[in-house]
Amino acid sequence: MVSQLLFGDVFEIIETVSDNWIHIRNSYDGYEGYIDPKQQININEAEYQALKEVKQSNKTVLKIDSSQGQLLLPPACSFPTNNIKLNGFSANLDSVSLSAFEETAFSEIGSLAMSFLNAPYLWGGKTPFGVDCSGFTQSVFKMCGISLKRDASQQAKQGETLNFLEECRVGDLAFFDNSEGHIIHVGILLEDQKIIHASGKVRIDTIDHHGIYNETLQKYTHQLRLLKRLKN
């Protein structure tokens, strides 16, 4: 698994590979992969254009009633409007707490990141039920109304570069590289030289100009490469 589609994501079908697999491109971040065609609702071009711009996102796990029964949805799903009517599927979300993508206060990013604390690591995961490092940052930033690309190396190309940790504030991103200089990890900076990131699980560690120091292991686990700010 390279990534996940969450409820409300729309995508373009690039190729039908077989009866069991279709090659798709997620409209939210441009990421490509393969899914079982049973895990989709077909829509036309007009519906795709109307739905691909995310307007709202949920910050907590939601239970919603729909024409297909009750759905349990993880945080960071996509909702174009409060009323969804689509090819036999319908749901009214007027009673559900959603955040407008244009209005969400970035000051919430610390608490939203903390809501993933201790979530198990899952390669390609994007939810508190299993998440990888860049899936974690992408979902948390989505809940704050900011679009991030899917992989750490892609996210590192976004935003404004910062020169020193002393310049950083809560919500800035720190990126880490391997011995070959490739960016392979990302986390969200907190107060007091702390970072929250997905490594084994979503955890909080100390960070300095060398990188992430794991108190349990008594060693540095990630080498700092780059600091970025996405929200001024």
Catalytic residue among 77, 168, 185, 222: 185
Q: How many domains does the chain have?
A: 2
Residue 129's pLDDT is 96
Encode pLDDT of 148-194 as tens digits: 999 999 999 999 999 999 999 999 999 999 999 999 999 999 999 99
Catalytic site residue 168?
Answer: no
- Taking the C-alpha atoms of residue 220 and residue 208, their distance in angstroms, rounded to an integer, is 10
Instruction: Judge if 78 and 156 occupy the same domain.
Output: no
Q: Tell me, yes or no, if 209 is annotated catalytic.
A: no
Cα 56 to Cα 180: distance, rounded to the nearest angstrom: 39
Residues 6+ positions from 180 with CB-CB distance below 8 Å: none
Do 116 and 60 contact (CB within 8 A), yes or no? no
Q: Which of 133, 144, 168, 222 is catalytic?
A: 133
Co-location of 123 and 50 in the same domain: no
pLDDT at position 89, please? 82
Domain of residue 62, residue span: 11-100
77, 144, 168, 197: the active-site residue: 197
Is residue 194 a part of any domain in this protein? yes
Residue 155 lies in a domain: yes
Q: What is the CATH number of the domain that holds 137?
A: 3.90.1720.10
Residues 112 and 71 in one domain: no
Q: Reply yes or no on whether the pLDDT at 104 is more than 90.
A: no
- Tell me which amino acid residue 166 is: E
Q: Please give the structure tokens belonging to residue 184.
A: 């392979």
Residue where one domain finishes, among candidates 100, 115, 130: 100
Does residue 144 carry a catalytic annotation? Answer: no
* pLDDT tier for residue 2 given thresholds of 50, 70 and 90: very high
